[in-house]
Structure 1
Amino acid sequence: MLSERRPDFVEATDARTVAPELRAELTDCWVAVTNAGGAAGFPFPPVDVADVAPVVDRLVAGLAPERSRLVMARAGGALAGWVVLNRDPGRLVGHWATINHLQTHPAFRGRGIGSALVREARRIARDQLGLEQLHLAARGGEGLERFYERLGWREVGRWPGALRLGEGEGDTRDEVLMVLGLL
């Protein structure tokens, strides 16, 4: 639960609206999250700006109003966390989107930022994009299933041992597939 006031949300739908300073904030957040053990896309910490910045640049370059949106939470003027909402607007799968890279900066953990970002992404998906479902894949064994279930998501599948995080047989994690209905 938010111990302070609700964060301010900022949405980016076009690379031209993401200034270099914001790209640096996104990169710094992702480095901090990864190096703190977060499961946000870089499974082998430590990482640094040189590892993450090119990925942020590709993510930002792919922003488009109907396909990819970046939703950011700001608290006290600082970037507290962010998430990406991706969809294929084609007729077959155009009724759902995928949540990617949900992360809360470690300095803002425990304040409900992650939950608030998921709720905001849900609102955007439903109210702005007219979608019916959200999908995500989460790394098993991290407690993420419980986090998402508290927000109304349900597990719909699991790929046992899909993610290899180390050399040994015990160093694998399941990939947990989850869905959230928006109607």
Structure 2
Amino acid sequence: MTRDGFPVFLQIMDGQEMSPGLRRELIECWVTVTNAGGAAGFPFPPVTFDEVAMVADQLIASLDPERSRFLLAHVDETLAGWLNVRRNVDPLIAHWGTVHHVQTHTNFRSRGIGAALMRQVRHVAREEMGLEQLHLAARGGVGLEDFYGQLGWKEIGRWPNALRLAPGDDRDEILMVLEL
């Protein structure tokens, strides 16, 4: 599933839309990314399929067109990357959403999949979800703030040494925003 070399995007807005095969692909991608050192929600690799499946199943169960969606990128009928975008229902903050679990399968790195996902989520958030801004938190020390900065995201703060990956390996959590 490609269009002139670009990924094809699929939104999953309801857990009933997630086929068993697509669920397996998503979990396998998450395991691969995490075990390769990716900052994808599991800080202490290695992780197993079953460990990730428990978290993935909770996310799948919480999908709702107004509050939480998966955005998946496919290349040649293979899941190349995905993310989750969520809106809080609290009326004070319902105008913004948060992007979670941004990841590109290691087999598709350096092919622009992550940037394409981030451009597509911008469109989905603004045009389909009616959001005015997006937030995300990124792990410091791996250049993610540069990646997101090139896509228009602005750093708005840091929690210094908030993330302890190992003794002596503390990282900042970088807070970023994108105005839509």
In structure 1, the partner of 2:174 is: 176
Supply the AA of the counterpart residue of 1:180: L
Q: Distance in 2 between matches of 1:175 and 1:110?
A: 24
Which string of whole-angstrom CA distances, capped at 9 and with x for unpartnered residues, describes residues 147-179 of structure 1?
000000010010001011112xx3110000000
Is 1:80 aligned to 2:85, yes or no? no
Kept in 2, the 8 Å contact 1:138–1:144? The answer is yes
Which string of whole-angstrom CA distances, capped at 9 and with x for unpartnered residues, describes residues 20-41 of structure 1?
1111000000000011111110
Q: Distance in 1 between matches of 2:116 and 2:56?
A: 22
Q: Distance in 2 between matches of 1:88 and 1:37?
A: 29
Structure-to-structure mapping, 1:1-183, within 5 angstroms: 5-167=5-167, 170-182=168-180
Q: Distance in 2 between matches of 1:38 and 1:19?
A: 25
Greater percentage in strand = 2
Aligned to 2:166, the other structure's residue is in SS state coil
Kept in 2, the 8 Å contact 1:89–1:95? The answer is no
Q: Distance in 2 between matches of 1:18 and 1:50?
A: 17
Q: Distance in 2 between matches of 1:115 and 1:89?
A: 28
TM-score by length of 2: 0.96
Aligned to 1:9, the other structure's residue is in SS state strand
Q: Distance in 2 between matches of 1:130 and 1:52?
A: 30
What is the percent sequence identity of the aligned residues?
Answer: 58
Supply the AA of the counterpart residue of 2:52: V
Which string of whole-angstrom CA distances, capped at 9 and with x for unpartnered residues, describes residues 30-70 of structure 1?
00001111111011111110111111101100100000000
- Once the two structures are TM-superposed, the CA of residue 138 in structure 1 deviates from its matched residue by 0.3
- Gap regions ≥5 residues in structure 2: none
- Gap regions ≥5 residues in structure 1: none
Supply the AA of the counterpart residue of 1:124: V
- Once the two structures are TM-superposed, the CA of residue 89 in structure 1 deviates from its matched residue by 3.0
Q: Distance in 2 between matches of 1:101 and 1:129?
A: 19
TM-score by length of 1: 0.95
Q: Distance in 2 between matches of 1:164 and 1:110?
A: 27
Q: Distance in 1 between matches of 2:174 and 2:160?
A: 8
Q: Distance in 1 between matches of 2:105 and 2:160?
A: 29
